[in-house]
Amino acid sequence: MKSIQGVYKIGNGPSSSHTVGPFRAARLFGARYPDADAFRVTLFGSLAFTGEGHGTGKAIRSGLPGAEVLFNRSEQDLPHPNTMLFEAFQGGKRIGSNRIFSIGGGSIRIENETSDDETEVYPQSNFSEIMHFCREHALNLPQFIYRMEDPSLRASLKTVWDAMQDSIRRGLSAEGILPGGLGVTRKAKLLYEKRCYNESADVTMNRVIAAYAYAVSEENADENIVVTAPTCGSCGVLPSVLYYMQHERGFPEAEILDALAVAGLIGNVIRTNASISGAECGCQAEIGSACSMTAAALASLYGMNTDQIEYAAEIAMEHNLGLTCDPVKGLVQIPCIERNAVAAMRAISSVNLSRFLYSTRKISFDEVVATMYRTGKDMSEKYRETSHGGLAAMYLAYNENDPAGSGVN
Ligand code: SF4
């Protein structure tokens, strides 16, 4: 497996596979053809269907200024649901091209090229192998991760955590309507400040964590800087719970960074053995993965053993299986923002169950990851980030008199 550093990418929202990945691809392709005087980029599949709402054209043009961006919504036979064709021209003549795939979480793969910018650091390829190694060497998960990774990991996690915290603070103080034309108002500040009379401690905790999740997700929807965890669409789940634990429960930052490392390891197992892309496997791959990473992080922060951490991650993923991706009007707003807050609550419940029931479990984390991948592959394309089904279609039918639900912007 590659370094967990690849799970956390700092960049502009609203979608890691639709903005962060295409931006990185544009920069890389532009650097290959410094003498080109024109570029054309054609987007296919999910990038073509939801690219406008997700800001793909803008991301590509900021990585490759002046590029012409085309949306091809008719091509069906694609090697990956997020396919881009980059072409470079000089004096009207094509001098080079690459098909590049945005494979989720801001990562990219260039067709027919094996190397990428992420390093292989783990000989293990799944969680059971990790567990075996940890038992053999009497290591807990953070100790295992620091033993395998480059010493720079800790500094990199600190940078990631600072960026996550910044996104919470900015989101909590911002107000107004999010861009895209859906008229969605920011709610993080309201949720954070709206204490109810006689509110119980549990409700306060849920409300405050939800406010943090809204804050990050609204920053993402507003195309501001967030950290993929493991994607932009699901970027609010993990920071919301960890921020609460540091600032309301007093866990020291060093332990938060260890928890972040454990979450990264879980995200890494998922992206290695399945997918973290909504276009490939639906929202179970994005929110399901974020929920699973957060459950593992929290269980680790609570000092639970590796079995309990694995079970917490398993529960969190299992009960997101089948979750579809159907963003209204192709924007990362409905259902995405609210879904981040709900997933944060679910991660906490998963930890509470795993604390007591881990010795009774029947399903391993690796099994549930394999199930998520197979379920995603069985899922109709309508539910994989095309905005052709589910809430996206029904919203248009109910609100814009478009029974076919075809009006993706
Ligand atoms: S529905 Fe889920 S997978 Fe789809 S864009 Fe929203 S957060 Fe991402």
- CATH of residue 91: 3.30.1330.90
**Distance, CA 141 to ligand 1 centroid (Å)?**
29
Q: What pLDDT shows up at residue 295?
A: 98
Rounded percentage of the chain residues whose pLDDT exceeds 90: 90
Per the CB < 8 A criterion, the answer to whether 192 and 172 are in contact is yes
Could you tell me if 143 and 290 lie in one domain? yes
Whether residue 344 is contained in a domain is answered as: yes
Domain boundary among 81, 110, 139: 110
Residues 399-407: what's their mean pLDDT?
67
pLDDT digits (tens, 9 = 90+) for 321-363: 999 999 999 999 999 999 999 999 999 999 999 999 999 999 9
Whether residue 359 is contained in a domain is answered as: yes
- Which token pair is 259? 């928890």
**Distance, CA 108 to ligand 1 centroid (Å)?**
19
Atom of ligand 1 nearest to the CA of 324: 1
Kindly report the CATH number assigned to the domain that includes residue 264.
Answer: 1.10.4100
Atom of ligand 1 nearest to the CA of 232: 8
Torsion over CA: 343, 346, 350, 351 (sign): positive
Q: What pLDDT shows up at residue 409?
A: 38
pLDDT digits (tens, 9 = 90+) for 239-282: 999 999 999 999 999 999 999 999 999 999 999 999 999 999 99
Q: Would the pLDDT of 317 be above 60?
A: yes
Q: What pLDDT shows up at residue 407?
A: 46
> How would residue 408 be classed by pLDDT, with cut points 50, 70 and 90?
very low
Could you tell me if 228 and 299 lie in one domain? yes
Strand runs labelled E in 8-92: 10-12, 38-44, 68-72, 83-90
Q: What pLDDT shows up at residue 401?
A: 77
Per the CB < 8 A criterion, the answer to whether 225 and 167 are in contact is yes
- Residues with Cβ within 6 A of ligand 1? 233-234, 278, 283, 286-287, 325, 327, 332, 335-336, 339, 385
Domain boundary among 44, 78, 110: 110
Could you tell me if 8 and 67 lie in one domain? yes
**Distance, CA 199 to ligand 1 centroid (Å)?**
31
Radius of gyration, alpha carbons of the chain: 21
Q: Which contacts qualify for 387-391: CB closer than 8 Å, 24 or more apart?
A: 387/49, 387/50, 387/53, 387/326, 387/327, 387/328, 387/329, 387/330, 388/49, 389/324, 389/326, 390/324, 390/326, 391/326, 391/327, 391/328, 391/334, 391/335
Per the CB < 8 A criterion, the answer to whether 166 and 224 are in contact is no
Residues 210-228: what's their mean pLDDT?
97
Residue 68: phi and psi, rounded to 5, are: -85, 130
Whether residue 405 is contained in a domain is answered as: no
Could you tell me if 388 and 327 lie in one domain? yes
Q: Would the pLDDT of 10 be above 60?
A: yes
pTM, whole model, 2 decimals?
Answer: 0.93
- Which token pair is 140? 């807990």
Total domains in the chain come to 2
Could you tell me if 43 and 104 lie in one domain? yes
Neighbouring C-beta atoms of residue 165, cutoff 10 Å: 20
**Distance, CA 221 to ligand 1 centroid (Å)?**
11
Could you tell me if 173 and 69 lie in one domain? no
Whether residue 174 is contained in a domain is answered as: yes
**Distance, CA 82 to ligand 1 centroid (Å)?**
14
Whether residue 210 is contained in a domain is answered as: yes
Residue nearest to atom 1 of ligand 1 (CA): 325
Residues 64-74: what's their mean pLDDT?
95
**Distance, CA 281 to ligand 1 centroid (Å)?**
11
Atom of ligand 1 nearest to the CA of 326: 1
Residue 212: phi and psi, rounded to 5, are: -65, -40
Residue nearest to atom 6 of ligand 1 (CA): 336
CA–CA dist 395, 405 (Å, integer)? 8
> How would residue 174 be classed by pLDDT, with cut points 50, 70 and 90?
very high
Whether residue 115 is contained in a domain is answered as: no
**Distance, CA 118 to ligand 1 centroid (Å)?**
25
Q: What pLDDT shows up at residue 54?
A: 83
Could you tell me if 160 and 82 lie in one domain? no
Domain boundary among 76, 110, 144: 110
Atom of ligand 1 nearest to the CA of 340: 7
Residue nearest to atom 4 of ligand 1 (CA): 325
**Average pLDDT over all residues of the chain:** 94
Torsion over CA: 282, 284, 286, 287 (sign): positive
Q: Which residues pair with 87 in a beta bridge?
A: 40, 97
Could you tell me if 65 and 203 lie in one domain? no
Whether residue 389 is contained in a domain is answered as: yes
CA–CA dist 359, 315 (Å, integer)? 13
CA–CA dist 133, 187 (Å, integer)? 45
Q: Which residues contact 327 (CB under 8 A, 6 or more apart)?
A: 50, 53, 233, 333, 334, 335, 336, 385, 387, 391, 392
**Distance, CA 336 to ligand 1 centroid (Å)?**
5
Our mutation pick for probing the ligand 1 site, out of 49, 52, 385, 391, counting the most ligand atoms within 8 A of Cβ, is 385
Could you tell me if 163 and 72 lie in one domain? no
Could you tell me if 164 and 82 lie in one domain? no
Our mutation pick for probing the ligand 1 site, out of 325, 375, 384, 387, counting the most ligand atoms within 8 A of Cβ, is 325
State yes or no: cis peptide before 179, omega within 30 of 0.
no
CA–CA dist 290, 292 (Å, integer)? 5
DSSP structural state of residue 211 = H
Which domain covers residue 222, as residue numbers?
127-399
Atom of ligand 1 nearest to the CA of 385: 4
**Distance, CA 339 to ligand 1 centroid (Å)?**
9
Q: What pLDDT shows up at residue 172?
A: 98
Whether residue 120 is contained in a domain is answered as: no
Could you tell me if 227 and 367 lie in one domain? yes
Could you tell me if 147 and 186 lie in one domain? yes
Residues 56-66: what's their mean pLDDT?
93
